[in-house]
């Protein structure tokens, strides 16, 4: 009896707690390979199911299914009217066993919490809308991957942005080979400041991977409530196909601004106090104790993991010939205690500061890893293991390191002329043709060393202008080995999580998910064209046929930047 009373008291308390204090936090997750182990991460409707091969949205003919993430998204805040930003990336397979007759595709969507598949849904509605009803009966936003042309569709097949109906407000061609079981990727992002929704996607046709994109300006507050469900949906009738979601990553910001949430928090706190007393303070104490215990165990695991990581790194440095161990005091003094005025920029996992070492009378760049970034610490370790043993005139030299007071830092030689992108596209200075030619030669020499001349093959995976530094004579030095991987010379490639900068990635990486010497060379080729032409690798303001620099160069056959002299 006592246990039963405690159980129901706790259930009532937490019900009222979450009713009064609604979720107002960012939602982030990364399901790199969806399988049955992720069953509890999803809520499914009708024929959708979670299998070892991913999310199967439909079965065969006359089948409908939805799979949404188990937690709702706080899309916008009522008090401030502020919208959340979000980005998502998912990989998928659309495969037709009958290449002549197949339909209808699938959609990534957001809809009110509790939204269900409409009664009388048809395949063309992708389990989101009943085409026979007026659009006012539907409330959703979707990015559809449509493989069948309906009467309201302009082109076939296509990717479209839908608002409350299946008539897309923006579309792009999707030339895909549905007869082949090929993994494609899609990225969807929304920026609340500009209300701009952007979609980037891949397709496979004529033996190669293609990329396409579209965007649309929309205020999602006009169409969706504050809390939304989000996920994937699909539907079929007499024609059908396989629609399979293989992986899914999602990141959002919180729409609640501090100045608005503080007022609401005070008002709700009074109600929460009364409800909390009615169900018992002991429940709250138990909850805090449980959370504290879980946090302590997780923190302990992190600390042990970090200590092991640091020991491995120290062993790497001990085996190395050059890097020196610095004290935290020396580096703090060198950077005026890491003053804002000394900050050169912000990397993917921490700040980079300019410093002056009195003992060696030299200027250095100090990379300081944020302790909040677990990924940053892993990339730091990867960089240490590789660059501490590399010696080449066209690689940024690692001078030393520091692990003290819980801080992780790397000390590099300072490149007086900064990164290549600041000159190439931001107009910091004019690069003559001779300078550009010398920069390309230097990068080629660095890649030859990494791929063939060192004892192991190093695949960099992120060759781009911001990772190319320039010394006082504008000689190029390749840096930032946070994503680099070691592979055998004979093998030359490694299956890995997709990483790098999309505009510079080889098309096959989106299908094979393999990093290789060849993919590095492709990135180098794109960068070489960018250096020669003074043009971004992807220019969304150009004509559709010349958006990518490769297509543009083939078109003009004379892509030299006229400013190079």
Identify any residues that bridge with 50 across adjacent strands, giving them in sequence order: 55
CATH code for 302-413? Answer: 3.30.200.20
Q: What's the pLDDT at 351? A: 86
Integer Cα distance of 516 and 22 in angstroms:
47
Phi, psi angles (nearest 5°) of residue 282: -60, -35
Report the alpha-carbon distance of residue 103 to residue 124 in Å, rounded: 8
User: Which residue would you say has higher pLDDT here, 377 or 147?
Assistant: 147
Q: How far is CA 479 from CA 19, 172, 371, 531, in A?
A: 50, 37, 22, 17
pTM of the model: 0.49
CATH 2.60.120.200 corresponds to the domain 25-255: yes
Rounded mean pLDDT of the chain? 80
The closest alpha carbon to 175, from 198, 218, 127, 207, belongs to: 207
Tell which wins on pLDDT, 62 or 533: 533
First-to-last CA distance in the chain? 88
Q: Are 537 and 549 in contact (CB under 8 A)?
A: yes
Percent of residues, the chain, with pLDDT higher than 90: 35
Question: How many angstroms separate the CA atoms of 478 and 164, rounded?
Answer: 49
Comparing 372 with 487, which gets the higher pLDDT? 487
> Two tokens at 519?
């993919």
What are residue 87's DSSP bridge partners? 189, 251
pLDDT tens-digit map of 302-351: 556 556 655 655 665 555 555 788 999 999 999 999 999 999 887 656 78
- Residue 282 parent element (H or E): helix 281-319
Q: Is 462 a catalytic residue?
A: yes
How far lies 420's CA from each of 274, 341, 392, in Å? 61, 22, 19
Convert the pLDDT of each residue in 267-278 to its tens digit: 555 555 665 676
Can you give the pLDDT at residue 9?
44
What pLDDT digit, counting tens, does each position of 113-161 carry? Answer: 988 888 766 656 788 887 655 455 678 999 999 887 665 545 578 899 9
Res 417: pLDDT: 92
Is it the case that residue 197 has pLDDT exceeding 60?
yes
% of the chain surpassing 70 pLDDT: 76
Q: Where do the DSSP E strands lie in 70-139?
A: 73-74, 86-95, 105-112
Lowest mean pLDDT among 338-347, 359-368, 372-381: 372-381
Average pLDDT over residues 171-175: 87
Q: What is the mean pLDDT of residues 492-496?
A: 59
Q: Give the pLDDT band of residue 1 (cuts 50, 70, 90).
A: very low
Q: Which fold has domain 420-564?
A: Transferase(Phosphotransferase); domain 1 (1.10.510)
Q: How confident is the model at residue 393 (pLDDT cuts 50, 70, 90)?
A: very high
Chain centroid to Cα 470, Å, comes to: 28
pLDDT of residue 447: 96
75-79, 155-159, 353-357: least confidently modelled range: 155-159
Q: For residue 251, give both structure tokens.
A: 């990141």
Give the separation between CA 382 and CA 298, rounded to whole angstroms: 23
What's the whole-number mean pLDDT along residues 369-381?
61
Give strand ranges (E) for 15-140. 28-31, 42-46, 49-51, 54-56, 64-69, 73-74, 86-95, 105-112
Interatomic CA distance for residues 331 and 322, integer angstroms: 18
Average pLDDT over residues 290-294: 79
Closest to 156 measured CA to CA, from 145, 166, 142: 145
Instruction: Give residue 301's pLDDT.
Output: 61
CB-based contact 95:181 (threshold 8 Å): yes
Map out the domains of the chain as residue ranges: 25-255, 302-413, 420-564
Q: What are phi and psi of 258, to 5 degrees?
A: -60, -40
Burial label, 57 (beta-carbon count in 10 A; 0-12, 13-18, 19+): buried
d(CA 87, CA 187): 7
How many CB atoms are closer than 10 A to CB 40? 8
| Model confidence pLDDT, tens digit, residues 19-33 | 444 445 689 999 988
pLDDT tens-digit readout, 244-261 = 999 999 999 887 754 444
β-strand partners of 227: 74
- Quickly state the pLDDT bin for 7 (edges 50, 70, 90): very low
Is the dihedral angle over the CA atoms 29, 168, 181, 233 positive or is it negative?
Answer: positive
Tokens coding 362: 């030299």
For the annotated binding site, the residues are 368
pLDDT digits (tens, 9 = 90+) for 399-430: 888 887 777 888 999 999 999 998 987 777 88
Q: Which residues contact 388 (CB under 8 A, 6 or more apart)?
A: 316, 317, 320, 322, 323, 398
Q: Which of 162, 185, 330, 462 is catalytic?
A: 462
Binding residues for ATP: 368
Residue 476 tokens, joined: 């190029």
- Interval 207-232 mean pLDDT: 91
Residue 438 has pLDDT above 90, yes or no: yes
């Amino acid at each position: 009896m006592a246990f039963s009373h405690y159980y129901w008291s706790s259930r009532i308390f937490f019900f009222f707690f979450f009713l009064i204090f609604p979720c107002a936090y960012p939602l982030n997750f990364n399901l790199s390979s969806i399988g049955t182990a992720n069953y509890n991460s999803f809520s499914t409707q009708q024929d959708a199911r979670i299998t070892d091969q991913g999310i199967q949205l439909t079965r065969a003919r006359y089948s409908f299914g939805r799979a949404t993430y188990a937690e709702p998204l706080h899309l916008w805040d009522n008090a401030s009217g502020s919208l959340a930003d979000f980005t998502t990336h998912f990989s998928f397979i659309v495969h037709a066993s009958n290449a002549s007759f197949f339909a209808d595709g699938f959609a990534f969507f957001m809809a009110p919490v509790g939204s269900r598949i409409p009664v009388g849904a048809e395949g063309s509605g992708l389990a989101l809308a009943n085409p026979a009803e007026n659009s006012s009966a539907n409330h959703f936003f979707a990015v559809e991957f449509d493989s069948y042309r309906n009467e309201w569709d302009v082109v076939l097949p296509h990717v479209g942005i839908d608002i409350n109906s299946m008539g897309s407000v923006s579309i792009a061609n999707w030339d895909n080979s549905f007869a082949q079981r090929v993994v494609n990727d899609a990225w969807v992002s929304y920026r609340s400041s500009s209300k701009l929704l952007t979609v980037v996607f891949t397709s496979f046709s004529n033996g190669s991977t293609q990329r396409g994109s579209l965007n649309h300006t929309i205020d999602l507050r006009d169409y969706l409530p504050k809390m939304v469900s989000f996920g994937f949906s699909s539907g079929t009738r007499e024609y059908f196909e396989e629609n399979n979601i293989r992986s899914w990553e999602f990141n959002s910001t919180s729409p609640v601004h501090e100045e608005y949430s503080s007022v609401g928090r005070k008002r709700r706190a009074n109600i929460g106090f009364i409800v909390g007393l009615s169900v018992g303070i002991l429940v709250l104490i138990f909850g805090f104790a449980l959370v504290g215990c879980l946090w302590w165990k997780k923190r302990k695991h992190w600390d042990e993991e970090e200590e092991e990581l640091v020991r491995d790194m120290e062993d790497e440095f001990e085996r190395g010939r050059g890097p020196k161990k610095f004290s935290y005091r020396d580096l703090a003094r060198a950077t005026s205690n890491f003053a804002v005025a000394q900050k050169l920029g912000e990397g993917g996992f921490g700040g980079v500061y300019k410093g002056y070492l009195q003992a060696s009378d030299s200027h250095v760049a100090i990379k300081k890893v944020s302790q909040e970034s677990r990924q940053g610490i892993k990339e730091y370790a990867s960089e240490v293991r590789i660059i501490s043993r590399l010696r080449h005139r066209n690689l940024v030299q690692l001078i030393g390191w520091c692990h003290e007071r819980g801080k992780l830092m790397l000390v590099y030689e300072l490149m007086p002329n900064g990164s290549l992108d600041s000159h190439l596209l931001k107009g910091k200075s004019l690069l003559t043709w001779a300078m550009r030619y010398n920069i390309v030669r230097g990068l080629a020499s660095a890649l030859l060393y990494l791929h063939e001349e060192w004892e192991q093959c190093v695949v960099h995976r992120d060759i781009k202008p911001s990772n190319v530094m320039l010394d006082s004579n504008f000689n190029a030095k390749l840096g930032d080995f946070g994503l680099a991987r070691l592979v055998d010379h004979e093998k030359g490639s490694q299956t890995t999580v997709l990483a790098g900068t999309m505009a510079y990635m080889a098309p096959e990486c989106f299908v094979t998910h393999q990093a290789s010497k060849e993919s590095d060379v492709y990135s180098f080729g794109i960068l070489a064209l960018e250096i020669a032409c003074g043009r971004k690798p992807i220019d969304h303001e150009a004509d559709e046929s010349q958006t990518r620099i490769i297509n543009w160069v083939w078109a003009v056959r004379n892509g030299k930047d006229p400013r190079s002299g």
